[in-house]
Amino acid sequence: MTILRGATLIDGTGAPPVRDATIVVQDGRIESITSGAGGPPPASRDVIDASGLTVLPGLIDCHDHLASHGYELTTRWGLSEPFSTRSVRTSRVIEQTLAAGYTTVRDAGGLDAGFRTAVAEGLIKGPRLLTAIAIISPIGGIGDRVSPSGHECVVPDDPALPAGVANGVEEVRRVVRTMIRAGADVIKCATTGGASSRAGHGPSDPAFNLDEMRALVDEAHAQGRKVMCHALGGSGLRLELEAGVDSIEHGCYLDEDPELIPMMAERGTFLVPTLTVYVYHSESKAPHVRERARALREHHLNTIRRAMAAGVKVVAGTDAGGHGHPPNAMEIEYLVAAGLTPMQAIQAATGWAAECLGLEHQIGAIEKGRRADLVVVDGDPLADVRVLQSPERIRLVLKDGRVEVRR
Ligand SMILES: [Zn+2]
C-alpha cells in the first residue's frame, strides 16, 4: 500500500481541483480518494507527504516517435550510426519520457515491439507503450521510403519493423495483419502528405482510395485495433472520416470543409493536432517544409477552436522524434495558446487522451479502481501549464502503483 497525502488533486476529468487530498494505492490501483478532515492516515513508511504539491494522473502523449532521432535522411534510414547505438538512444528517450511524468505513450511509427517488452520486463524504465510499428501508406505516401533522388531505402527491412507500403484492398489487409503480427497495438496510416514529406506530396495531396481505407479500418477493427490516421487537408481528410478512423492526426485543414468537424463530433473521432511539430517545421531549413508549415498555421488554430466548440475531443501529441525529444508537455502549452483552458489542456493529456487510446477504464483519471499512474509536480499547472515541462519539478511518478521516479 502507498498513501499519498497533502497534495492538491487535479483528477483528469475536468473537475475543480481538491485541496489536501489523500490517495490510497493498493495492488497497483487507486483504492480511495479523500480530502481534508478525514484525520491523519495511519503512520507508516508507505505514507508520502506531498503537501504543497499538485497531483495529476500520469500524463499521456498520443502521438510520439520514440525511436526517431532526426529528419535527416541518413538518420531516418538508419545509416548514421549502428543499430545498437540507436537502440540505446531510444531507451534513453523512453526513460526520460517517464521521468518527465509521462506514464503512457502511443508511438505513431518506428518503435518496434521489443521496447514494449523491455519496459514490461523491467529491463528499462519507461511509460506504458502502445506502438503502431510502422506507418501504412500506398506507393508515394509518407510510409514509402524513397529519397528525393527517387532511390529506395538501401537498408534491408528490419523484420521487427515491416514495410508499410500497401496498394489495393488485398495488400492493405495483408499489411495490417503484418503489423499486428509484429506487435502493433494500434494501426497508423496516412491519407495525405504532410509538412515534412517529399516535395510533390504535400498536406493536401491524397494517398489511398476509399476502398483501400475501408479495408484497412475494417481489418484493424476486426482485430481490435484502433486506427490513427495522418491527414492534413484535401480529399484525403474526408476519405479517412468516411472510412471510420478513430483519430485524425494533425487535421490542419479540417476548417476548410464545413461538414468535417460536425462529422467528427457525431462519430466521436478524436483530433490529435500535434502543434509542437508544426512550430518546429515553421523554422525548418527546407524551404518547402517551412512554407507548408507557415501556410497551415491559421487553419490549424481555427480547426482546433471549431473542433472544441463542436464537442470534438482534442488530445495531446507531440509528434516528437524527427524534431528531437523536447519536453512532451510543450504540447499542453501550445494547446492553451490555441484556446483551450489550462484544465482542458490537462484533460487533453490525461482523461481525453485515455479515451483516444481506448484505455479510459484503466488510466487517465484519478478515480477509484483505475491504475495508479500518478505524477506529482511542484507548482500549480492551472496557473501556468509550463511547470509540467521542467524535469526538476516532476517530484514523483507512480506507474501501476510503483514509485518509478522520486526527486
Ligand atoms: Zn507522426
Q: Tell me which amino acid residue 3 is.
A: I
pLDDT at 129 over 80: yes
Distance from the alpha carbon of residue 194 to the mean position of ligand 1, in angstroms? 10
Q: Tell me the average pLDDT across 331-352.
A: 98
Q: Tell me which amino acid residue 152 is.
A: E
Distance from the alpha carbon of residue 322 to the mean position of ligand 1, in angstroms? 9
Which of the 8 DSSP states describes residue 9?
Answer: E
Q: Look at residue 264 in the predicted model and tell me its pLDDT.
A: 98
Distance from the alpha carbon of residue 246 to the mean position of ligand 1, in angstroms? 16
Distance from the alpha carbon of residue 63 to the mean position of ligand 1, in angstroms? 6
Average pLDDT score over the chain: 95
For the stretch 342-394, pLDDT in tens is: 999 999 999 999 999 999 999 999 999 999 999 999 999 999 999 999 999 99
What's the rounded Cα separation, in Å, for the pair 364 and 315? 12
Distance from the alpha carbon of residue 203 to the mean position of ligand 1, in angstroms? 13
Distance from the alpha carbon of residue 198 to the mean position of ligand 1, in angstroms? 15
Which of the 8 DSSP states describes residue 182?
Answer: T
pLDDT at 40 over 60: no
Q: Which residues pair with 374 in a beta bridge?
A: 57, 398
Distance from the alpha carbon of residue 319 to the mean position of ligand 1, in angstroms? 5
Q: Which residue has the higher pLDDT, 223 or 149?
A: 223
Distance from the alpha carbon of residue 195 to the mean position of ligand 1, in angstroms? 11
Q: Look at residue 197 in the predicted model and tell me its pLDDT.
A: 87
For the stretch 64-86, pLDDT in tens is: 999 999 999 999 999 999 999 99
**Which residue carries 461538414 as its cell?**
259
Whole-prediction pTM: 0.97
Distance from the alpha carbon of residue 382 to the mean position of ligand 1, in angstroms? 28
Q: Look at residue 7 in the predicted model and tell me its pLDDT.
A: 97
